[in-house]
Structure 1
Amino acid sequence: MTNIRNTPSSTATTSATTDDPRQGLLKAIALAGRTAAAVRPEQFDGPTPCTEFTVRRLAGHLVAVLRRIALAGRGGDVMSLPTVADDLADSEWQAAWDAAVREVEAAWADPTILGRTLTLPFGSVPGAAAAAVWTSEFTVHTWDMATATGQRPDWDPELVAISYAAMKRGLPIGPRDGAPFGAAVDVDADAPAIDRLVAWCGRKPQ
């Protein structure tokens, strides 16, 4: 079985992230996991920039997305799973996260998945494109959680670039009726890349 776990940063790792979208996805998942694990208990009921989620529900959403990614890798229907794992007690979140990450690693270990057609909620796309979409989802939601809890993640420029490109392709400039994103927010052209990404997704950078 091919090992797609993350490795320490290096030129080789950067190249692998570009050539193999699974590496970028796992790096985005890892950053989201570190950010969520650093949330303090008193912060779970707080709001996030993603207005439909509190911090707790956002954490549950990320677990649910992991489970959907794993199911997609196994050829299943992601719509059969809920969008939020809201049955988890705060003390159960980390174990559920770790188990879901292992499921993703196993389900996506075969590189042929990148050429297979996967069905996502918005349509059918090749596995490589699905990995980029989910990379962007984890990156944006990591920003949501970090902003809500006063954290400053160490953003990977390549992952932010991958995410921005995916969101620019997937989200129209104009009305976004039916999409879980507000209208794009104006930011300076020289704003940090992460600010430009989240602004395109309807968030207001701080």
Structure 2
Amino acid sequence: MTSMPDLTPAARRMADLLAGVRDYQLTAPTPCADMSLATLIDHVNGLTLAFTWAATKDFPDGASPPPSADASGLPPDWRTRMPEQLDALAAAWRSPGAWQGMTQAGGLDLPGDEAGHVAMNELVVHGWDIARASGQPYDAGEGEIGACLAFVAPAVEESGGEGVEGLFGPAVEVPGDAPAVDRLIALTGRDPSWTAEGG
């Protein structure tokens, strides 16, 4: 992969979605099995830090631990902290150097190029999760969806549709003419028709 997708639109959309989450919705279910909305937001909080460090290759204490997913770990100031972290994440990946060489994310060593695509995919897919869980509209750009599909589809194909450990579950079948966003969501093991009401 040589493309350098711009993470800015996905990061800004995530910040807007987080701003739309109401406190009473934090205990709501999400498309991620066994994750409440607060737990998912904590996971996103952790990954924004982990993938900013992956871009700058500057790790606290020399290591990048796996992002947590624990509702009780969600910082009290997450509503002000996370938009700033998302801006920093997008800015870090605008540097060509972020996409070069090796880096770390979630305790794993991986090429910078791959880490950048994982970061984009996390923003786009978890943005959809948060939108669905909180009843908000979701409108990702075609370029973002295309970049994520180009990254996800080969990995899912390689797994035989069984999912990729640590990233996403077994693929869900959708019609061949399904919208690109539905195809992406289905490839990551989610049901594109999932709603907070219907589970």
TM-score after normalising by structure 2: 0.81
For the 8 Å contact 1:37–1:94, the answer to whether it is kept is: yes
Q: Distance in 1 between matches of 2:101 and 2:164?
A: 29
Using the alignment, how far apart are the partners of 2:192 and 2:164 within structure 1? 22
2:61 matched to 1:79? no
Consecutive unaligned residues in structure 2, runs of 5 or more: 194-199
Contact 2:54 2:104 (C-alpha < 8 Å) held by counterparts: yes
Mapped contact 1:72–1:78 kept (Cα < 8 A): no
On the 8 A contact 2:8/2:87 being kept in 1, the answer is no
Of 146, 149, 167, the residue aligned with 2:131 is: 146
Residue 107 of structure 1 deviates from its aligned partner by 4.0
Q: In structure 1, list runs of 5 or more residues that go unmatched.
A: 1-17
Q: Distance in 2 between matches of 1:101 and 1:51?
A: 24
Relative to 1, partners in 2 of residues 1:190 and 1:28: Cα closer, same or farther, differing over 3 Å? same
C-alpha distance in structure 2 between counterparts of 1:154 and 1:106, whole Å: 22
Query: For structure 1, which segment, 96-105 or 139-148, has the greater mean C-alpha deviation from structure 2 after superposition?
Result: 96-105
Q: Is 1:68–1:78's contact at 8 Å kept on the other side of the alignment?
A: no
Cα gap change, 1:46 to 1:122, in 2 (>3 Å): same
1:147-204: CA deviations, max 9, x gaps? 1111112221110111111111333224337334221111001111111101011111
Task: Name the CA distance, whole Å, in 1 between partners of 2:91 and 2:42.
Answer: 21
In 2: Cα distance, 1:79 partner to 1:38 partner: 30
The RMSD of aligned alpha carbons is 2.4
For the Cα contact (< 8 Å) 2:163–2:171, is it kept in 1? no
Q: Structure 2: how far apart are the matches of 1:105 and 1:186?
A: 32
Identity %: 29
The residue number in structure 1 matching 2:51 is 69
TM-score by length of 1: 0.79
